[in-house]
Homo-oligomer: A and B are copies of this chain.
């Protein structure tokens, strides 16, 4: 019963999300023996204004 939350800064296309979901589900089935039908994956696309690294928001000027 895996639950996977993928948070990224910015956005992904629908095609990217579909491909990532497919691959990650396959990884968990092959390596962790979790049936694919039990795997939930959610994507959180976080605005760059809402994500900081090293104390600076990602939309900051350098």
Interface residues of A, Cβ cutoff 8 Å to B:
1-9, 12, 14, 16-28, 31-32, 34, 36-37, 39-46, 49-60
Whole-angstrom CA separation of A62 from B51 in the bound complex = 29
A59 / chain B contacts, CB cutoff of 8 Å: 14
Q: Are A9 and B18 in contact (CB under 8 A)?
A: no
Q: Are A39 and B17 in contact (CB under 8 A)?
A: no
CB distance from A6 to the nearest CB of B (A): 5
Q: Which residue of B has the minimal Cβ distance to A36?
A: B54
Whole-angstrom CA separation of A28 from B21 in the bound complex = 10
Other-chain contact of A49, B17, B50, B57 (Cβ < 8 Å): B17
Q: Are B55 and A36 in contact (CB under 8 A)?
A: yes
